[in-house]
Structure 1
Amino acid sequence: MPPLPGTDALTDDAARMLDRPGRRLLGLCGPPAAGKSVLARALVDGINLRLGTDTAAYLPLDGFHLSNRQLERLGLADRKGSPPSFDVHGYVALLRRVGGVPPPEHDVYAPDYDRALHEPVAARHVIRPGVRLVVTEGNYLGLDAAGWREAAALLDGLWYLDAPDDLREQRLEERHRGNGSSAERTRSRIADNDRPNGELVKSARSRSHRIISAGSHTIG
């Protein structure tokens, strides 16, 4: 994948976090479909290109989605992607593990979310012992609520990625339709779940250390 326009300066800023010894944790938050995972991967790739393989690693919050079975048990099947649909305490535990001082002297594995399976999958990502920057991203890292506050407190930096609502909803529509949802189901999911989730995330943007504006030509 070619470098994303507008990410070189952000990679510079992420690299400056490594001026001090030790491992750093950088969090990216923002509303659904703002481009967080794309930016996170671009930062990891950019750091590794500049400073060497396995200098940076990726740890997505989406790996801590509850399984569909657990969502059904909790009555959250239609609220997948909302704060209670994540194992936030498991996420905090993994952040503490990878951000320990000193960091672990062994590989640490992190889960991911598989959009084809519509389920979380274990151990898709690895954080090697020599990693100095872990980039983690998720909607709710700035949320002022139990579990999420503990996650934010473990981060050395928290950047908020913003994008126009119409652009995000276009991306969400493409995502849901690409995953097999009907047009009616897609409209319902955006109106009843994605949109309120996005408004909740936006209400917490002031808790971030930096706001990054992303237009369609910048972060996709």
Structure 2
Amino acid sequence: MLASLVADALALVPQDPPGGRARVILGLTGAPAAGKSTLARYLVHAVDERAGKGTAGYLPMDGFHLSNAQLDRLGRRNRKGAPDTFDAHGYLAMARRLLAETDTPVYVPDYDRRLHEPIAAQHVIEPGTRLIVTEGNYLASDEPPWDGARGLFAQLWYVETEDRVRERRLRRRQMAGGANADDARDWVERSDRPNGELVKGMRERCTRVVRVSGVPRLGSRDRFSAR
């Protein structure tokens, strides 16, 4: 249930130590279109409602997509979303910075699915933020440099959804971005599906599994179960 997930996220919010500010990161991972970003945003909203505005902040891994220009240069645009099509070192540096730099605002990027490009400074983590909720496909990977991520998280939850539901969402996502039905299906089969199979192999490295039965919206109830 959403209430239990929110309670568990709230339990991670640290108290300030003497002479300084404390901050932790909760990671969410899972295959593409499992519902990671929706859950992350919901948790940030719900924690802020209960603990005060600005208590939680959002760090999306998708903000560290390489730009289309860089993917074209590398010849990897047709596999956009694979582990090597992100600035993994940049993501890890940002996560470490957020844990260490708690006295100034820190601006973090996100990804715009309409532009199909990362956007700088889309979100801000304020000095008073105590819980960072981050999400992304490869946060449980044991391949370098992604293997440096897990040690930065207080907990890492695996968000799980049935493959047929995920792939339907992925096709709709492609079509919303301008692809026709055939191209959307081809992209999912060529790129999203192998990426998803890779991520599914990382499930057992996570703290817990959160099973998603639908796309939650603010104010919704009973859309998640967890173990």
| Separation (CA, whole Å) in 2 of partners of 1:206 and 1:20 | 30
* Matching of residues 20-31 of structure 1 within 5 Å: 20-21=15-16, 22-31=22-31
Counterpart code for 1:137: E
| Matching of residues 138-153 of structure 1 within 5 Å | 138-153=136-151
Match of 2:115 in 1: 117
% identical equivalent positions: 50
Secondary structure of the residue that 1:99 maps to in structure 2?
helix
TM-score when normalising by structure 2: 0.91
> What does 1:19-168 align with in structure 2 at a 5 Å threshold?
19-21=14-16, 22-100=22-100, 103-168=101-166
1:87 counterpart letter in structure 2: D
Unaligned runs of 5+ in 1: 1-5
Q: Please report how far the alpha carbon of residue 185 of structure 1 lies from its aligned counterpart in structure 2 after TM superposition.
A: 0.9
In 2, the alpha carbon distance for the partners of 1:207 and 1:186 equals 31
Deviation per CA, 1:136-174: give whole Å up to 9, x if none: 000110011102111111111100000000000111111
The aligned residue for residue 9 of structure 1 is 4
In structure 1, C-alpha distance between the alignment counterparts of 2:55 and 2:139, rounded to whole Å? 23
Question: Matched residues in 1 for 2:185 and 2:210: separation?
Answer: 28
Q: In 1, distance between residues paired with 2:142 and 2:75? A: 23
State the SS of the aligned residue for 2:25: strand
What runs of 5+ residues in structure 2 fail to find an aligned partner? 17-21, 216-222
TM-score (normalised: structure 1): 0.94
Cα distance between partner residues in 2 of 1:185 and 1:9 = 40
- The alignment of Structure 1 onto Structure 2 pairs a total of residues equal to 212
Q: Which moved more, 1:41-50 or 1:150-159?
A: 150-159
Task: Report the Cα offset of residue 104 of structure 1.
Answer: 2.6
CA–CA distance in structure 1, aligned partners of residues 153 and 64 of structure 2 = 17
Instruction: Note the aligned Cα RMSD (angstroms).
Output: 1.1
